């Protein structure tokens, strides 16, 4: 089944404790993105990647890191989480070459930083 | 920069009522426009899309027409069902160097009562 998977689905942590949220897609898509969803703000892009070893900042990159060492994986790293990073996070992927940008979303990771 | 504005929610309707969710956008060039739906506890799914002016996207009884003159992409359904209860997001993709990015509206919560 074609899908985007994220782990963990739920995470409660404390301020300053490094964490990684994994994202994997099995559709051989070139583009991958991370978004955060907050009430009243919709989804905002954190980082995106156009291909292996190619990443760029989105609208809200502060406090986050990413890497793209393999085409299928795009982990999101919070080196020192803070309470304002409590949010619902989505990973998404899209293939290159479409005449429109349909993105395929993972199920989401709900993060709480105490 | 690009932006999307949706009507404020939440929207509460009775089954078989007519639905309109307004969406307007600001973008340079000719963006592609999308409606995504998020059912409770799930990730986002593409509901419909339109890639050029005057295109009408449709799916599952929902429709939206790309109106360049009014920079709008309003979502409509003639007769809603309880199963349509979800959060609806309007989004745009500017393409070009922004191919991997979607810009989202705030989201509109729809609740349909029997």
Judge whether A47 is closer than 8 Å to chain B, CB to CB: no
Q: How far apart are CA A64 and CA B15, in angstroms?
A: 43
Judge whether B45 is closer than 8 Å to chain A, CB to CB: yes
Alpha carbons within 13 angstroms on the beta-carbon side of residue A111 total 32
- Verify cis geometry, omega within 30 degrees of 0, for the bond prior to B95: no
Judge whether B9 is closer than 8 Å to chain A, CB to CB: no
Q: How far apart are CA B55 and CA B35, in angstroms?
A: 14
B35-65 pLDDT, tens per residue?
999 998 888 999 999 988 999 999 999 999 9
Judge whether B86 is closer than 8 Å to chain A, CB to CB: no
For A83, the 3-state DSSP assignment is helix
Q: How far apart are CA A57 and CA B30, in angstroms?
A: 23
Q: Which of B43, B101, B105 shows the shortest C-beta gap to A107?
A: B43
Q: Which of A33, A40, A105 shows the shortest C-beta gap to B43?
A: A105
| Residue B1's pLDDT band (cuts 50, 70, 90) | confident
Q: Which of B32, B42, B89 shows the shortest C-beta gap to A101?
A: B32
Judge whether A100 is closer than 8 Å to chain B, CB to CB: yes
Measured over all CA atoms, what is the biggest interatomic distance in chain B, rounded to whole angstroms?
46
A50-104 pLDDT, tens per residue?
899 999 999 999 999 999 999 999 999 999 999 999 999 999 998 877 666 788 9
């Amino acid at each position: 089944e074609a899908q985007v998977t994220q782990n963990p689905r739920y995470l409660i942590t404390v301020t300053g404790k490094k964490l990684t949220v994994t994202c994997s897609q099995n559709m051989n898509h070139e583009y991958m993105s991370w978004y955060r969803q907050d009430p009243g703000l919709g989804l905002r892009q954190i980082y995106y990647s156009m291909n292996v070893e190619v990443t760029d900042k989105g609208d809200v990159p502060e406090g986050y890191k990413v890497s793209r060492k393999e085409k299928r994986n795009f982990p999101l790293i919070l080196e020192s989480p803070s309470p304002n990073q409590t949010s619902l996070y989505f990973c998404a992927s899209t293939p290159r070459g479409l005449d429109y940008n349909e993105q395929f979303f993972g199920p989401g990771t709900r993060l709480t930083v105490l | 920069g690009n932006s999307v504005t949706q009507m404020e929610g939440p929207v509460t309707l009775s089954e078989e009522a007519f639905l309109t969710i307004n969406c307007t956008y600001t973008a340079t060039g000719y963006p592609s426009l999308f409606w995504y739906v998020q059912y409770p506890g799930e990730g986002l799914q593409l509901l419909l899309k339109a890639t050029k002016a005057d295109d009408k996207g449709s799916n599952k009884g929902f429709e939206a027409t790309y109106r360049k003159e009014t920079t709008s992409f309003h979502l409509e359904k003639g007769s809603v069902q309880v199963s349509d209860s979800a959060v609806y997001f309007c989004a745009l993709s500017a393409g070009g160097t922004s191919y991997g990015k979607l810009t989202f509206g705030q989201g509109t919560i729809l609740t349909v009562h029997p």
